[in-house]
Amino acid sequence: MKGLFVFLILIVNSPNIYAQCRTYRVTDGGDTLNCTDFNGKKQGKWVIHLEELRGEPGFEEEGVFKEDKREGKWRRYNLMGDLQAVENYHWGQKNGTQQYYFMNELEHEESWLAIDPKKKYDTIEVPDVYDPYKIERKIIKVQAYSLKHGVWKYYQPGSLSLIKTENYVFDSLYKPLPLSRDLVSDTSNIKHTLTDTTGKTAAGQKPVPKEVSDFDKKNSKKKKYNVRDGSTNN
């Protein structure tokens, strides 16, 4: 009788919790889970339990559905309760950082970008992977609604030692330029200054790189040479 009284109080105090659900279940703490509305769409908090099947390990997932699509943070555990994954969703697609675990240790991280599935075409801003200040706007046909986008990190099993990274830009893997061009890019903003054979610079000037100083020392007794610096003498 007491249990029936508590159940009636829950219904009276929370009439909207069950009104939108055709099917649902209630936890011991009074939380509503696994709600399916009258249109057959999953809504609210869900816990999905899958037993081992045909050699495939079982697992349990928990997160939120919005209009039958996963939304926000989802967690997945094996049937022993060990954390396997923390994933983020938008519009039912992976979005943002995804983390995957092995024996409760972080194994690798992925980065994804979700695209509104209602769009057949989308305008995106594509940064030049070698020049972050250069942006190109492109109109693309939406074929995949979740794209690899950002840094992927891989860790040494059993530790947080980073062993590899990958960088994606709208599903395309970033490939570093040849070393020679990278060096030019890295040193393009260095201003060389006149130096004597000891490598010292005039007051107020920035110190020159060691390689330049060594070169000057090596050639100090040779015939003087001119260096073109690209200036127009204006």
| Whole-number average pLDDT of the chain | 76
- Is residue 137 situated within a structural domain? yes
- Is residue 139 situated within a structural domain? yes
pLDDT > 70? residue 119: yes
Q: Are residues 104 and 198 in the same domain?
A: no
Q: Are residues 93 and 161 in the same domain?
A: yes
Q: Are residues 115 and 46 in the same domain?
A: yes
pLDDT > 90? residue 184: no
pLDDT at 82: 96
Tell me the β-bridge partners of 45: 64
Q: Are residues 172 and 196 in the same domain?
A: no
d(CA 163, CA 160): 9
Q: Are residues 115 and 207 in the same domain?
A: no
More confident residue, 131 or 79: 79
pLDDT at 7: 44
Q: Are residues 212 and 134 in the same domain?
A: no
Query: Read out DSSP for 41-63?
Result: -EEEEEEEEE--BTTBPPEEEEE
- Is residue 194 situated within a structural domain? yes
Q: How many CB atoms lie within 10 A of CB 87?
A: 22
Q: Where in the sequence is the domain holding 146, given as residue range(s)?
A: 9-178
Phi, psi (rounded to 5 degrees) for 6:
-65, -40
User: Tokens 């003498």 belong to which residue?
Assistant: 233
Query: Read out DSSP for 83-114?
Result: EEEEEEEETTEE-EEEEEEETTEEEEEEEEEE
- Is residue 21 situated within a structural domain? yes
Over range 90-117, report the average pLDDT.
Answer: 93
pLDDT at 117: 80
- Is residue 13 situated within a structural domain? yes
Closest to 149 (Cα-Cα) out of 215, 97, 188, 91 = 97
pLDDT at 209: 58
Over range 27-48, report the average pLDDT.
Answer: 95
pLDDT at 17: 54
Domain count, the chain: 2
Q: Are residues 132 and 204 in the same domain?
A: no
pLDDT at 79: 95
Identify the DSSP state of 30: S
More confident residue, 22 or 194: 22
pLDDT bucket at 178, cuts 50 / 70 / 90: low
Q: Give per-residue burial for 49-74: e unless 16+ CB within 10 Å, then b.
A: eeeeeeeeeebbbebbbbeeebbeeb
pLDDT > 90? residue 155: yes
- For residues 17 and 26, the answer to whether their CB atoms sit within 8 Å is no
More confident residue, 105 or 200: 105
Q: Are residues 167 and 204 in the same domain?
A: no
Whole-model pTM over 0.75:
no
Q: Are residues 104 and 213 in the same domain?
A: no
- Is residue 233 situated within a structural domain? no
Q: Are residues 53 and 104 in the same domain?
A: yes
pLDDT > 50? residue 203: no
Q: Percent of the chain, pLDDT > 90? A: 42
Over range 57-78, report the average pLDDT.
Answer: 97
